[in-house]
């Protein structure tokens, strides 16, 4: 098997662009409608029944109800933390500060487990050299994720791209390559079964060559839906045989974006709208085979997409009837400063644009998760000794998730010991005042479409 020397595998980087005329105030009509959808689609009517341990209802009592953790996944990647573990500096103050800031915003973390990823960079590499499987740092970040009550996601299990296939694997024929790939996927999923519950199973099939065509890769390399489905079905089968309860995505880029046509050497012109159509064709093929992914991943690396287009893309991809995850979103201030926007103003606009995009995603009923890519580096200026300063982006997203969509309220049970309210699915603390005036709490897990729960004290 040969991968040739065709391109870098990072051609997507030239898709980054800012909106030259982004005006936060001009988006208020769209945002107002989005906030209404959050109230109508994201919240659900729930009746809490309060009772004591003997099953006696508790009428006319005051309770505190606080949302501790959304069911919806808000996340970011752990590239920086993974690097700290590999360099054995995880106990320094820098790491502790970074960890505390991360957990103050997110309820999910994207843990990295590349087979390899550009030998020159500092990404996690689980088998850069033949026979040397290194998953210690991945295991450490997963442990940290779970210890902090967050959902652990893994990225990626399989990626058909030259830079992310170790050179030693490329010496072998295609059948042997698939054997190595199968062992890798099965081992990772089996080892972390029940702990890593969400995986980017297959990455970037829409733009890349299938394994049998890597030696003629010609970006954008356009494969038929059948060719892509053949190897995606294979990978998803391995995943589900090892962990039938996991959530396994296929993940791709260049879809939530303006047209920005790309042309390969064959003269094929590829646009964002055509890629969305191809994604839906691929999903239909996988559904026909009974091998559809559990969620559709949209990277949205391109950032700075008009909000109306962003929402339209989500609705189009959601039409397949499969949940949508935003997997790797960024919209960076440097795209504005390159256009001559003042640095302070660029920070403010970046914060507001990210808040608006997150609001649109949370309001969309097709979307079940939103992961940033590089949020911590953009939102926090970390000093070498663990000191830090927060950029407007940090507080914009933290307050959006925990203030705008937080729930901290007082509930008074009615004559039947019940209280009905519209709530976000998630984990709640429900507290009852004791005779000594102190609050005593219990936790409840409110799942989507669950109309009632019993709170026992």
DSSP codes, 326-367:
EEEE---THHHHTTT--HHHHHHHHHHHHHHHHHHHHH-TTE
- Same domain for 252 and 302? yes
Q: How confident is the model at residue 123, as a pLDDT?
A: 86
- Same domain for 86 and 35? no
- Same domain for 394 and 431? no
Is 91 within a domain? yes
d(CA 38, CA 359): 8
Length of the chain: 457
Is 25 within a domain? no
Looking at 359, 374, 400, which one is the last position of a domain?
Answer: 400
Q: How confident is the model at residue 4, as a pLDDT?
A: 45
Is 19 within a domain? no
pTM above 0.85, yes or no: yes
Q: How confident is the model at residue 9, as a pLDDT?
A: 79
**C-alpha distances out from residue 204 to 187, 222, 325, Å:** 22, 11, 14
- Same domain for 83 and 141? yes
Count Cα neighbours of 358 within 13 Å in the Cβ-side half-sphere.
30
Is 45 within a domain? yes
- Same domain for 55 and 129? no
- Same domain for 356 and 270? yes
- Same domain for 418 and 395? no
- Same domain for 348 and 437? no
| CATH code for the domain of 224 | 3.20.20.80
Burial of 178 (0-12, 13-18, 19+ CB in 10 A): middle
- Same domain for 364 and 413? no
**Closest C-alpha among 433, 438, 12, 431 to residue 220:** 12
Is 176 within a domain? yes
Q: How confident is the model at residue 303, as a pLDDT?
A: 79
Contact 51, 456 (CB under 8 A): yes
Is 5 within a domain? no
Residue 212 is classified by DSSP as G
- Same domain for 366 and 292? yes
Q: How confident is the model at residue 122, as a pLDDT?
A: 84
Looking at 400, 426, 446, which one is the last position of a domain?
Answer: 400
In the structure encoding, which two tokens stand for residue 434, read together? 């004791």
Contact 368, 322 (CB under 8 A): no
Is 15 within a domain? no
| CATH code for the domain of 55 | 2.60.40.1120
Is 24 within a domain? no
Looking at 356, 384, 400, which one is the last position of a domain?
Answer: 400
Q: How confident is the model at residue 1, as a pLDDT?
A: 65
Q: Angle 272-288/307-318 helices, nearest 10 degrees?
A: 20
- Same domain for 34 and 142? no
Residues lower than pLDDT 50 in the chain: 4-6
- Same domain for 210 and 340? yes
Q: Which domain holds residue 287?
A: 71-400
Number of domains making up the chain: 2
């Amino acid at each position: 098997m040969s991968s040739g020397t065709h391109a870098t595998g990072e051609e997507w980087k030239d898709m980054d662009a800012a909106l030259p005329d982004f005006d936060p105030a001009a988006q208020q009509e769209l945002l107002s409608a989005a906030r209404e959808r959050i109230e109508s689609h994201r919240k659900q009517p729930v009746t809490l029944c309060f009772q004591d341990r003997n099953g006696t209802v508790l009428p006319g009592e005051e309770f505190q109800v606080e949302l501790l953790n959304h069911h919806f996944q808000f996340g970011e990647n752990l590239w920086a933390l993974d690097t700290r573990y590999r360099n054995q500096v995880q106990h320094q103050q820098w790491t502790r500060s970074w960890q505390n800031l991360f957990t103050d915003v997110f309820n999910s973390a994207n843990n990295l487990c590349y087979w390899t990823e550009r030998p020159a960079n500092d990404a996690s590499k689980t088998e850069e050299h033949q026979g040397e499987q290194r998953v210690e740092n991945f295991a450490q970040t997963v442990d940290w994720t779970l210890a902090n009550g967050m959902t652990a996601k893994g990225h990626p299990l399989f990626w058909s791209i030259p830079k992310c296939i170790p050179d030693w694997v490329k010496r072998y024929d295609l059948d042997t390559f698939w054997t190595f790939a199968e062992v890798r996927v099965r081992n990772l999923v089996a080892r972390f079964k029940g702990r890593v519950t969400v995986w980017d199973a297959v990455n970037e099939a829409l733009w890349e060559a299938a394994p049998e065509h890597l030696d003629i890769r010609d970006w954008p390399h356009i494969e038929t839906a059948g060719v892509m489905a053949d190897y995606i079905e294979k990978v998803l089968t391995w995943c589900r045989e090892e962990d039938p309860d996991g959530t396994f995505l296929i993940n791709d880029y260049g879809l939530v974006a303006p047209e920005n046509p790309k042309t390969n050497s064959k003269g094929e012109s590829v646009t964002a709208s055509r890629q969305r159509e191809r994604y839906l064709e691929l999903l239909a093929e996988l559904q026909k085979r009974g091998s559809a992914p559990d969620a559709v991943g949209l990277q949205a690396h391109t950032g700075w997409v008009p909000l109306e287009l962003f929402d339209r893309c989500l609705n189009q991809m959601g039409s397949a009837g499969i949940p949508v995850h935003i997997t790797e979103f960024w919209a960076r201030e440097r795209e504005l400063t390159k256009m001559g926007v003042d640095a302070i103003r660029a920070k403010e606009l970046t914060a507001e644009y990210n808040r608006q995009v997150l609001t649109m995603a949370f309001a969309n009923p097709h979307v079940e998760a939103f992961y940033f890519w590089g949020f911590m580096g953009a939102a926090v200026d970390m000093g070498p000794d663990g000191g830090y300063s927060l950029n407007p982006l940090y507080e914009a997203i933290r307050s959006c998730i925990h203030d705008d969509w937080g729930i901290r309220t007082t509930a008074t049970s009615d004559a039947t010991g019940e209280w009905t309210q519209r709530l976000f699915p998630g984990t709640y603390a429900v507290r009852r005042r004791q005779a000594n005036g102190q609050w005593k709490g219990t936790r409840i897990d409110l799942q989507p479409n669950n109309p009632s729960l019993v709170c026992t004290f």
